[in-house]
Structure 1
Amino acid sequence: MQLIVNTLASAAVIAPAAIAFTLVFTLFRYANFAAGGFVTIGAFTAWTLNALIGLPIWVGGLGAMVVSALAFALADSLIFRPLRGRGGGTLLLVSIALSFVIENIIRFFYGGQIRGFDLPLTGPLVIAGMRITRETMAVITVSVLATLLVGAVLTLTPIGRALRAVADNASLANVRGIPVPRIEMFGVALAGALFGLSGVLVGLDLTIDPNLNWAVAIPVIAAAIVGGLGSPLGAAIGAVCIGLAEELTGVFLNPTYKGAVGFAVIALVLIVRPQGLLGDKVDRK
C-alpha cells in the first residue's frame, strides 16, 4: 500500500510539467528540453516568496506559476518563435542550451545549497497502514485538481477548443478567424504556469536543488513520451507509469538507479510503441 502512495506522489510531481511538455509539442511540433529549467525557476521563485520573504506557501505557489509563465512566454517570443521555421531539431538543440543557461543563472543567484520551504513541522498520518505526510497529500491533491482543470479548459471552453484547432492545423484555424498568435501565446503561458507548478510540488515533496534541471526533465519527458506526445491525458497517465517504475526500481534494485528509469523507459517506448499509450502519429504542420 505504501508503494501506491509513493507512486502517486512521484507521478503528481511530474504530471503538470509532462502535460506542459505535451502542450508545447502539440502546438509547435518540437520537444522542449528546457522543461526542467522552467520547473527550477518555479521552485526557486516559490522558495524566495515563501522562505525568504515570508509569504504563505500558497502565495509562493501562485507567484511561481506566474513567474514561470512569464519566463516561458519571454523565452518563446525572443528565442523559439524566431527559429520555428528551422525545424524541430534546431529548436530541440536550442532548448537544451537554454536549460543549461537557466541552470547556471539559478546557481549564480542562489548558489549550490539545497533548500526547503518554510512549512510547519507536522508528523505523518497513518491511513490504512500507509504513512503519508500532509505535504504529500497536498502534492497529490493539487496535481490532480490541476490536471482536471487543464482537461476541462482544453475540452469545454472556447479558448481550449481554439487551442486544439490551432494545434491540429494552424493555417486552417487562421482561415476560420481564430487569432492564432494569441491562442499560441495562451498555450505558451499555460505551459509555463504548469512548469512552475511542478517546481512547487517538487519543493513540497522533496527539496529544492540547483541541480533540479535534468533530474526532473528526464522523467517529465519520459512521461510525455509514454503517454503519447499530443495527448495531455496520456501525459498524466505516463507520469503514473514513470512514478511506478521509479518506485519499483527503488524497492527491488537500488534507489540510486531511479534516475536511469526515464532513459530506459524512453528507449523501450520508442522501440515498442513510438506513439505512446494514447498518442497518434503526428505529422509536421
Structure 2
Amino acid sequence: MTAQVILNGLVTGMVVALPAVALTLIYGILKFPNFAIGAMLTVGAYLALALNVYLSLPVLYAAAIGAAAFAVVAVGIDQAVFRPLRERSAITLLVASMGVSFVLENIVRFIFGNGARSFELPLARPKLVFGLRINNEQIFTAVAVIAAMTAVYVVLRHTPLGRAMRAVSDNPALAAARGIDRERIVRWTWVIAGLLTAAAGVLVGMDRAIDPLLGWNYIVTVFAASILGGLGNPVGAVLGALTVGVVEETSTLLIAPNYRQVVSFCAIALLLLLRPQGLLGVQRIKK
C-alpha cells in the first residue's frame, strides 16, 4: 500500500511541477509571486474542456489547442494588468495578481457555471504492474510532464531565448546594457507559463472533475513546491513538486486526506523560518 501511495504522490508531484515551474519562471523574470497561477490552471482546463466536450475534439488535440490559446491569454493579461505596474513593488504586483485570480475565476463561473464537469475520456481499467495499480491517465501524465520539462530545459539551457531569460533574471540592468529586449523576454516567459499551467489543468481534469475552484485546491501545493526548490530555480521547482507530492500523499496514511494541504502549509512555514531561499536557492547578499 505504501508503494502505491508513493507512486500516486509522484504522479501528483509531476502535475504540480508544471505550474510550479511557471510560477518560478515568472518570479525569476518579474520578481513577484504570481497568485493568479491557480486561476490560470483553472482557465486552461476549461478551455480544453470546451474544445473536448462542445467541439468533440480528442483530449490530446483539445489540450494542445487550449494551451496555445491560453498562452495568448496569459500574454494579454500581462500587457493589460502587469505591464502598467512593471516598476511598482512586488507587493503591488502580488495584489494585482490576486485581482486577476478573482476575475478569471468569476469569468469561468459566468460562462460554465458552478457545477463540476469532466472530460470525455474512454473508460479503461487500471493495469497491474509489479503489484501497483497504474491507469492510463497516470501514464499519459508522466509522458506529458517529462516531455514538457525536457522542452523547458532545452529552451532555458541551449537556446538564445533561454540565455536571454537567464540574463534578465540574474541582472536586468546588465542584460539591458547588452541590448536584450526585456519586454520580449517577459512576453515569452508568459507564453511558457501559460502553456505549462494550461497543460497542468488538463492533466488534473483527466484525473478528476473540474470546477471554478480547481486552482485553489493546488495553489498552496504549488507555492510550497516553488519555495521548497527556491523561487527562481526551475530545477528546484520540479524537485520540490515531487517532494511535496509524495509527502502530501503519504501523509494521508496518518491524517485525513482533506488535511493533506496542512503539510504544505507547514513546509512553507518551516522553510521561510529556516531557509528562506529554499533548498536549492542561492542566498542573495545585499551590499
Q: Give the direction of change, closer, same or farther, for the CA distance of 1:165–1:129 in structure 2 (3 Å limit).
A: same
TM-score (norm 1): 0.96
Q: Where do residues 138-217 of structure 1 align in structure 2 (5 Å cutoff)? A: 138-217=140-219
Contact 1:8 1:140 in 2 (8 A): no
Contact 1:65 1:192 in 2 (8 A): yes
Provide the secondary structure at the position in 1 that maps to 2:253: helix
Match of 1:245 in 2: 247
Match of 1:118 in 2: 120
* Inter-partner Cα distance in structure 2 for 1:152 and 1:104: 36
TM-score (norm 2): 0.95
Q: Give the direction of change, closer, same or farther, for the CA distance of 1:46–1:282 in structure 2 (3 Å limit).
A: farther
Does residue 272 (structure 1) correspond to residue 274 (structure 2)? The answer is yes
Q: How far did 1:206 drift?
A: 2.2
What CA deviation, in whole Å up to 9, does each residue of 1:196-254 have, x standing for no partner?
Answer: 11111111122212111211111111110011001000000010111012102212111
Q: Where do residues 225-264 of structure 1 align in structure 2 (5 Å cutoff)? A: 225-264=227-266
* Inter-partner Cα distance in structure 1 for 2:221 and 2:285: 25
Provide the secondary structure at the position in 2 that maps to 1:13: helix
Match of 1:81 in 2: 83
* Inter-partner Cα distance in structure 2 for 1:95 and 1:202: 22
- What amino acid is aligned across from residue 137 of structure 1 in structure 2? I
* Inter-partner Cα distance in structure 2 for 1:113 and 1:75: 26
What CA deviation, in whole Å up to 9, does each residue of 1:168-195 have, x standing for no partner?
Answer: 1122112212222212211111111111
* Alignment partner of 1:69 out of 68, 71, 74: 71
- What amino acid is aligned across from residue 91 of structure 1 in structure 2? L
Q: How far did 1:15 drift?
A: 0.6
Contact 2:32 2:93 in 1 (8 A): yes
Provide the secondary structure at the position in 2 that maps to 1:126: strand
4+ runs deviating over 4 angstroms:
none
Aligned pairs, how many?
284
- What amino acid is aligned across from residue 94 of structure 1 in structure 2? A
Point out the more displaced range, 126-135 or 99-108: 99-108
Q: How far did 1:282 drift?
A: 4.7
Contact 1:20 1:190 in 2 (8 A): yes
Match of 1:53 in 2: 55
Provide the secondary structure at the position in 2 that maps to 1:183: helix
Provide the secondary structure at the position in 2 that maps to 1:131: strand
* Inter-partner Cα distance in structure 2 for 1:72 and 1:203: 20
Percentage of pairs with the same residue: 42
* Inter-partner Cα distance in structure 2 for 1:135 and 1:202: 9
Point out the more displaced range, 169-178 or 55-64: 169-178
Provide the secondary structure at the position in 2 that maps to 1:203: helix
Point out the more displaced range, 93-102 or 40-49: 93-102
Contact 2:224 2:264 in 1 (8 A): yes
Provide the secondary structure at the position in 1 that maps to 2:252: helix
Q: How far did 1:283 drift?
A: 7.3
Q: Give the direction of change, closer, same or farther, for the CA distance of 1:52–1:282 in structure 2 (3 Å limit).
A: farther
What CA deviation, in whole Å up to 9, does each residue of 1:19-71 have, x standing for no partner?
Answer: 00000000011000000011001100111111221001111111221122112
- What amino acid is aligned across from residue 211 of structure 1 in structure 2? L
Match of 1:12 in 2: 14
